[in-house]
Amino acid sequence: MEVAPSKSESISIPWNNAWLKHPDVMKWVEKMVKHCEPDMVHLCDGSAAEYEGLANYLTAEGKIVRLNPEKRPHSFYCRSHPDDVARVEECTFICSKKKEDAGPTNNWKDPEEMQNHLKDLFKGCMRGRTLYVIPFSMGLPVSAFAQIGVQVTDSPYVVMNMRLMTHMGSQALEKLKPNSFVPCLHSVGVPLKEGEKDKMWPCNPEKRVIAHFPEEKSILSFGSGYGGNALLGKKCLALRIASYLGKQHGWLAEHMLIMGLTSPKGEKKYIAAAFPSACGKTNLAMLTPNLPGWKVECVGDDIAWIRVGKDGRFYAMNPEAGLFGVAPGTSMKTNPNAMASISKNTIFTNVALTQDKDVWWEGMTDKPPAHLTDWLGKPWDPTSKDKAAHPNSRFTASIRQCPILDPAYDSAEGVPLSAIIFGGRREHTIPLVYQSFNWQHGVFLGASVSSETTSAAKGVVGKVRHDPFAMLPFCGYNMGDYFSHWLEMGKKTTPDKLPKIFYVNWFQKDAQGKFLWPGFGDNIRVLEWIFERSSDKGNFEKTPIGYLPKTLNLSGLDLSPFDMKALLTVDPALWKKEVEELEEYFTLFKDHFPKALKEELQGLKKRLS
């Protein structure tokens, strides 16, 4: 069969003045165009008109649906391919020169080998499509800490999402310094033959690869159009590449929310919290307190970049511009601020569609509306046990729409942290909250996070796995070295200036499988204790695992003393098992496991015996 000549031979890229200032970017884009062979090239400026144009194009193609403007103004609905619904960890690679530098928890491939493999995959992969060039900034472009990326993609849906999730467009290009951009190449991996009709959601699950080259600061992603696989500024750049940069230059890139917390007395503190995917970051970041007088403000809901400031305190900033949140479970009861954030100008992916073209998902209301179309596009039978929305269905919206956005979101330096919280989803063993004895012990708590798996990644749901610092899928280098880096960060300032470290678990269950703790707005009761303890105030008792509260403020809460006791129990038998488990896990890191954490493990063992 004769292969038609590529149209890319005759493509002239419509460079304008903004781009002409960046010959290094132009050279790279030209190379990508030549190799991927698209039919057309579009240079994104990030404007509202451009977004509108893409939305109209995708709507006309039937690939997205414009929602009812009276119910959900300027919002869109999209269904993905059923085999492209979440992050794919088994296809995600860290390609460092040495395998050891990727560490035992990452998939590794030799960079050259991976480049060769990807070269073949990407050859001609954009035939029949438009190649979009997206300049974007992670971090406010005005911030000295911002990282500028340029993503090349053949997915207009990805372009729309990137506009909401990153500081995208001319503002990023203007800030770009020579030879400093992070090249991010993405393709859904489905070239079209002449005249071939496109699929609703093109993707190539058999050939999916999400490859990171931390040493040369670049990202290549093939075959998926969903979330963290395709919006390359998020997990790929702002966590995997950024964590590697942080290790090199003395800062941290973390899977953390950042919140401002103001007490009834008017004192304000900032807190960051790391929980694994779909374990409650967005919800905590926007919490509506069930205790009078407390105020929560949101700086970020997924990623924090943390540096030591001039005053010796730890400053956190949110590199993202949007929310890519889990839809199921989000309701006016659990998270009214998220509901307000997605009331307009939002993209919904894999939720259910109502008859009057609005959206619905499990947990949004007690009773589902009649005649839903499910995430697979079929009429939904409410008596079936199938879910109407996919468990990892998500909303994409600008963080500016969050009614409790903290004014310091716009601070180029970030906010000073008083506390750092780790947490996971555990049915038993881990109490509701406890505090570390000090920084080193706190790093040990971070290293010991384990959690039940969720639908945020492809694979089994509900299996307990180790997820140190909630970074297992996101650390761009050897996790053992990452532990050492955290210990080193603690030595960059005086102990009094370090954030205090805590561990929480909202997810303990009773024998009937019901959550013991009400969670959501009642988590403020735990935050109140953390707030006080971060100034060395408040009640506490010393236990083998750390400081636990003697009591929490439970006013207005109907919780049996029996359940409360269970929530704050340290069961020595269960904890001995936990420690055995941990000891076994930590052997994975061999020589990279820091001595200080070995000491912590031995200390814990001793205190428990």
CA 50, 128, 9 angle in degrees (round to 5)?
95
Residues 6+ apart with CB under 8 A from 295: 260, 261, 262, 289
User: Given candidates 224, 283, 350, 393, which one binds ligand GTP under the rule CB under 6 A?
Assistant: 283
Quick one: which of 103, 225, 227, 594 contacts ligand SPV (CB under 6 A)?
227
Among Mn ion, ligand GTP, ligand SPV, none, what binds residue 125 when CB lies within 5 to 8 Å by partner kind?
none
Q: Where are the beta strands (DSSP E) in 383-493?
A: 394-398, 415-423, 433-435, 450-452, 464-466
# of chain residues touching ligand SPV (CB under 6 A) = 9
Q: Which residue, 340 or 608, has its beta carbon nearer to ligand GTP?
A: 340
The reply on whether position 523 binds ligand GTP by CB under 6 A is yes
Number of residues that bind ligand GTP (CB under 6 A): 21
State the Cα torsion 561-564-570-571 to the nearest 10°.
60
Q: Closer to ligand SPV by CB, 228 or 300: give it.
A: 228
Task: Name the E strands within 289-375.
Answer: 295-300, 304-308, 314-317, 322-326, 347-349, 352-353, 359-360
Cβ nearer to ligand GTP, comparing 362 with 481: 362
In the DSSP assignment, the letter for residue 457 is B
The interface partner of residue 603, options being Mn ion, ligand GTP, ligand SPV, none and the CB cut-off 5 to 8 Å by kind, is none
For position 208 contacting ligand SPV by CB under 6 A, the verdict is: no
How far is the CA of 537 from the CAs of 498, 499, 549, 574, in angstroms? 16, 14, 11, 30
Of 237 and 456, which has the nearer Cβ to ligand GTP? 456
Asked if residue 227 binds ligand GTP (CB under 6 A), the reply is no
Residue 337, interface with ligand GTP (CB under 6 A)? no
Tell me which of ligand SPV, Mn ion, ligand GTP, none is bound by residue 515, counting a contact when its beta carbon lies within the kind-specific cut-off of 5 to 8 angstroms. Answer: ligand GTP
Question: Which residue lies nearer to ligand GTP by CB, 283 or 373?
Answer: 283
Q: Are 542 and 520 in contact (CB under 8 A)?
A: no
Stretch that binds ligand GTP, among 129-137, 276-284, 342-350, 413-421 (CB under 6 A): 276-284
Cα–Cα distance for residue pair 590/565, rounded to 1 Å:
38
Sole binder of ligand SPV in the list 254, 302, 452, 578 (CB under 6 A): 302
Question: Which distant-in-sequence residues (6+ apart) come within 8 Å of 219 by Cβ?
Answer: 149, 182, 183, 184, 185, 210, 211, 212, 213, 232, 236, 237, 240, 241
Cβ closer to Mn ion: 409 or 593?
Answer: 409
Instruction: List own/partner pairs for 563-572 with CB under 8 A and 24 or more apart.
Output: 563/510, 563/516, 566/508, 566/510, 566/516, 567/431, 567/432, 567/508, 567/516, 567/517, 568/431, 568/432, 568/433, 569/431, 570/431, 570/543, 570/544, 570/545, 571/428, 571/429, 572/544, 572/608
Q: Residue 220 and residue 236: Cα distance in Å, rounded? A: 9
CB nearer to ligand GTP: give 202 or 225. Answer: 225
Q: Which of 234, 247, 390, 525 binds ligand SPV (CB under 6 A)?
A: 234
Phi, psi of 501 (to 5 degrees): -115, 135
Burial of 81 (0-12, 13-18, 19+ CB in 10 A): middle
Catalytic residue among 36, 125, 279, 298: 279
> Interface mask (CB under 6 A) for ligand SPV, residues 431-470, using x and -?
-------------------------x--------------
Could you tell me the two tokens for 539?
């009640």
442-461 binders of ligand GTP (CB under 6 A): 456
The DSSP H or E segment spanning 92 is: strand 92-94
The site that binds Mn ion (CB under 5 A) totals a number of residues, namely 2
Nearer to ligand SPV, 302 or 522 (CB): 302
From the list ligand SPV, ligand GTP, Mn ion, none, pick the one residue 467 interacts with, judged by a Cβ distance below 5 to 8 Å according to partner type. Answer: none
Whole-number Å distance between alpha carbons of 533 and 317: 23
Q: For ligand GTP, which residue of 103, 202, 233, 280 counts as binding (CB under 6 A)?
A: 280
**95 is annotated as an active-site residue:** no
324 near ligand SPV (CB under 6 A): yes
- Would you state the torsion angle of the CA atoms of residues 272, 276, 279, 282, taken in this order, to the nearest 10 degrees? 40
Cβ neighbours of residue 177 under 8 Å, at least 6 residues apart?
A: none
For residue 235, state whether it binds ligand SPV (rule: CB under 6 A): yes
Question: Which has the closest alpha carbon to 442: 425, 417, 408?
Answer: 417
Its sign, for the CA torsion 124, 474, 410, 404, is positive
If the CB atoms of residues 221 and 354 are measured against ligand SPV, the closer one turns out to be 221
Q: Pick one of ligand GTP, Mn ion, ligand SPV, none as the site partner of residue 283 (Cβ within 5 to 8 A by kind).
A: ligand GTP
Residue 175 CB: number of other CB atoms within 10 A? 18
Which 267-286 residues touch Mn ion, going by CB under 5 A? 277
- CA angle, 153 then 161 then 416, to 5°: 115
297 binds ligand SPV (CB under 6 A): no
Contact segment (CB under 6 A) with ligand SPV among 46-54, 138-146, 153-161, 228-236 equals 228-236
Site for ligand GTP in 302-321 (CB under 6 A): 302
Asked if residue 323 binds ligand GTP (CB under 6 A), the reply is no
CA distance 304 to 499: 14
Q: Which is nearer to ligand GTP, 130 or 290 (CB)?
A: 290
- Which of 84, 297, 302, 600 lies at the binding interface for Mn ion (CB under 5 A)? 302
- Contacted entry of ligand GTP, ligand SPV, Mn ion, none for residue 204, CB cut-off 5 to 8 Å set by kind: none
Active site residues: 279
Q: Which residues bind Mn ion (CB under 5 A)?
A: 277, 302
Q: Which residues bind ligand SPV (CB under 6 A)?
A: 87, 227-228, 234-235, 277, 302, 324, 456
